[in-house]
């Protein structure tokens, strides 16, 4: 049996994964603005190095660059405002709180001139604690409870995004019972689905969200659920119909899908305004803007997407002869995703030998050639980042506590959970000399990681540290063993 040499370009690596020219270099789109290596080669963020962070807060740890969060939030607000200034006087940007939410973040969002999207009573509780005015908050959800609807009305929310005909009736009845009118947007499914690099358009939707725009979706002959909702909302004494909403997907790079959805909603909005003699002053085009998780992802700047979307809104409104509604958007991942990396400590290292992949039968050729795959275990895993398990998501990682001149070795970063699927980074080249006690940083973990974290195996969920101008502070503390035992009734 021959053994292939342990060098770069492993046949076990996926095709997209290049061997980095310099393992110590930071691929810029993956990292928050202030992340650099200091003179000693240690990764630093906001002027604080990861060794200090480990000493002060332990690992695993979510490390967020506060200035970077603020800058990305402002970039969305400023570039969409600029692109839409002549169309509707600017854009309302609702930060999608489900991507990562805590009191500090709500304050930053408000200070930077954005608004907040929520999707549950719990998220509303965070908004309330942060003191953001209810009028700047929206509530989503396909199954809002009466308690959540009442809470939204108590907080005088700027909008409740209604997801179904049944919910429209429920929101209307609750508001009516309180002698109020709920400010409502209707979530429609325009039949546009964007998948990262392409989008598909279908007439009929097979998903739980939204009101279908396809005809024949209700009992009323030829009338779509979306139209039935507009008709009902426009005459309901408990409803103030603000307008229409759609959200076509997530981690989308190309603006075409957003543009097509905008056009479809504007045509529908114009037709409904005409038919029911109403005005719908607002149109929300949702979130879903993509970020870089690995070096092959190339997200578009917010300004480029804003310009493409504005062009379609401008031309469609002109063609339809309608005044443009006030546009809003709901970015989550694109604001918070790249602001944060997860800091892990390396523990057990293990190299297994793997048969050549089937596709490279020529290499295998009956020679029983095997290739090394090194498993690098870290002190967290699927409990602090469920996305690889949930979505097959790819990430990257870098040796953070020092530089290394060692050769690249194909590695798989795995967690410490009792699951073989507990993968943090499926494929990455790391220096051959990575050892127990080293720190790894996994970038792009600001969105949907802490938010989806769990206590699987009774691991304590990590804290979140915000770093700015040379100082680091916890904005969410990590859990303690006491937290873990707190709800266990003891017998």
Instruction: Please indicate whether residue 418 is annotated as part of the active site.
Output: yes
Nearer to ligand PLP by C-beta: 258 or 344? 258
Q: Which stretch binds ligand PLP (CB under 6 A): 4-12, 327-335, 379-387, 416-424?
A: 327-335
Alpha-carbon distance of 31 to 65, in angstroms, equals 10
Q: Which stretch binds ligand PLP (CB under 6 A): 54-62, 326-334, 354-362, 449-457?
A: 326-334
Alpha-carbon distance of 12 to 285, in angstroms, equals 41
Contact flag: residue 96 with ligand PLP (CB under 6 A) = yes
What is the separation of C-alpha 198 from the centre of its chain, rounded to a whole number of angstroms? Answer: 18
Smallest distance from the beta carbon of 489 to ligand PLP, in angstroms? 35
Q: Which stretch binds ligand PLP (CB under 6 A): 4-12, 48-56, 78-86, 93-101?
A: 93-101
Smallest distance from the beta carbon of 298 to ligand PLP, in angstroms? 17
**Cβ-contact 241, 229 below 8 angstroms:** no
Which residue has 């690098």 as its token pair? 376
Q: Which stretch binds ligand PLP (CB under 6 A): 84-92, 266-274, 329-337, 478-486?
A: 329-337
Contact flag: residue 250 with ligand PLP (CB under 6 A) = yes
In the list 77, 333, 412, 468, the residue contacting ligand PLP (rule: CB under 6 A) is 333
Contact flag: residue 387 with ligand PLP (CB under 6 A) = no
Contact flag: residue 115 with ligand PLP (CB under 6 A) = no
Nearer to ligand PLP by C-beta: 46 or 210? 210
In the list 69, 289, 341, 450, the residue contacting ligand PLP (rule: CB under 6 A) is 289
Smallest distance from the beta carbon of 60 to ligand PLP, in angstroms? 22
Contact flag: residue 334 with ligand PLP (CB under 6 A) = yes
Task: Number of residues interacting with ligand PLP: please give it, by CB under 6 A.
Answer: 17
Contact flag: residue 217 with ligand PLP (CB under 6 A) = no
Nearer to ligand PLP by C-beta: 140 or 144? 140
Contact flag: residue 330 with ligand PLP (CB under 6 A) = yes
Nearer to ligand PLP by C-beta: 168 or 410? 168
Q: Which stretch binds ligand PLP (CB under 6 A): 230-238, 280-288, 318-326, 342-350?
A: 280-288
In the list 288, 372, 388, 462, the residue contacting ligand PLP (rule: CB under 6 A) is 288
- 214 backbone dihedrals φ, ψ, rounded to 5°: -75, 140
Smallest distance from the beta carbon of 329 to ligand PLP, in angstroms? 8
The contact pattern for ligand PLP, residues 410-449, with x = CB under 6 A and - = no contact, is -------------------------------------x--
Neighbours of 115 (CB within 10 A): 21
Contact flag: residue 280 with ligand PLP (CB under 6 A) = no
Rounded to 10 deg, the angle between the 256-276 and 225-235 helix axes is: 50
Q: Which stretch binds ligand PLP (CB under 6 A): 148-156, 190-198, 200-208, 284-292?
A: 284-292
In the list 210, 286, 443, 444, the residue contacting ligand PLP (rule: CB under 6 A) is 286
Among the listed residues 88, 102, 246, 418, the single catalytic one is 418
Nearer to ligand PLP by C-beta: 332 or 380? 332
In the list 140, 326, 412, 416, the residue contacting ligand PLP (rule: CB under 6 A) is 140
Nearer to ligand PLP by C-beta: 304 or 469? 304
Closest alpha carbon to 11 in 349, 352, 361: 361
Applying CB under 6 A, the residues found at the interface with ligand PLP are 96, 98-99, 117, 140, 247, 250, 286-289, 330-334, 447
Residues with a known catalytic role? 418
């Amino acid at each position: 049996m021959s053994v292939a040499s342990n060098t770069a370009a492993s046949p076990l690596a996926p095709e997209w994964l290049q061997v980095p020219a310099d393992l110590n270099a930071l691929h810029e789109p993956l990292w928050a603005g202030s992340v650099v290596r200091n003179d000693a080669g240690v990764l630093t963020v906001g002027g604080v190095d990861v060794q200090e962070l480990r000493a002060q807060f332990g690992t695993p740890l979510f490390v967020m660059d506060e200035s970077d969060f603020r800058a990305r939030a402002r970039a969305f607000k400023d570039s969409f405002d600029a692109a839409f200034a002549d169309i509707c006087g600017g854009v309302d940007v609702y930060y999608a709180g489900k991507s990562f939410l805590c009191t500090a973040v709500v304050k930053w969002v408000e200070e930077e001139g954005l608004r907040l999207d929520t999707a549950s009573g719990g998220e509303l509780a965070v908004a309330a604690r942060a003191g953001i005015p209810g009028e700047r908050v929206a509530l989503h959800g396909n199954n809002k409870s009466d308690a959540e609807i009442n809470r939204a009305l108590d907080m005088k929310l700027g909008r409740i995004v209604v997801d179904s005909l049944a919910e429209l009736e429920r929101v209307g009845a609750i508001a009516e019972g309180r002698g109020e009118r709920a400010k409502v947007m209707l979530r429609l499914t325009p039949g546009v689905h964007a998948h990262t690099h392409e989008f598909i358009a279908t007439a009929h939707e097979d998903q739980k969200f939204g009101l279908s725009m396809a005809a024949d979706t209700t009992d009323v002959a030829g009338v779509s659920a979306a139209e039935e909702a507009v008709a009902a909302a426009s005459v309901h004494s408990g409803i103030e119909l603000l307008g229409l909403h759609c959200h076509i997907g997530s981690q989308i790079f190309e603006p075409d899908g957003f543009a097509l959805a905008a056009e479809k909603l504007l045509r529908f909005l114009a037709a409904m305004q005409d038919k029911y003699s109403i005005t719908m002053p607002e149109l929300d085009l949702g979130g879903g803007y993509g970020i870089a998780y690995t070096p092959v992802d190339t997200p578009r700047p917010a300004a480029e997407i804003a310009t493409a979307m504005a062009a379609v809104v401008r031309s469609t409104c002109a063609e339809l002869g309608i005044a443009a509604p006030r546009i809003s958007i709901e970015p989550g991942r694109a604001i918070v995703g790249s602001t944060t990396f997860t800091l892990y400590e390396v523990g057990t290292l293990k190299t297994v030998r793997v048969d050549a992949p089937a596709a490279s039968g020529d290499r295998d050729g009956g020679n029983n050639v095997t290739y090394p795959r090194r498993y690098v275990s870290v002190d967290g895993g699927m409990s602090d980042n469920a996305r690889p398990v949930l979505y097959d998501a790819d990430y990257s990682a870098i040796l953070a506590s020092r530089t290394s001149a060692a050769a690249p070795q194909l590695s798989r970063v795995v967690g410490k959970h009792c699951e073989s699927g507990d993968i943090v980074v499926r494929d990455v080249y790391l220096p051959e000399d990575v050892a127990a006690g080293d720190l790894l940083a996994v970038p792009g973990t600001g969105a949907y990681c802490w938010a989806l974290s769990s206590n699987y195996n009774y691991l304590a969920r990590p804290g979140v540290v915000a770093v700015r101008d040379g100082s680091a502070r916890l904005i969410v503390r990590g859990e303690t063993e006491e937290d873990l035992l707190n709800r266990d009734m003891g017998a």
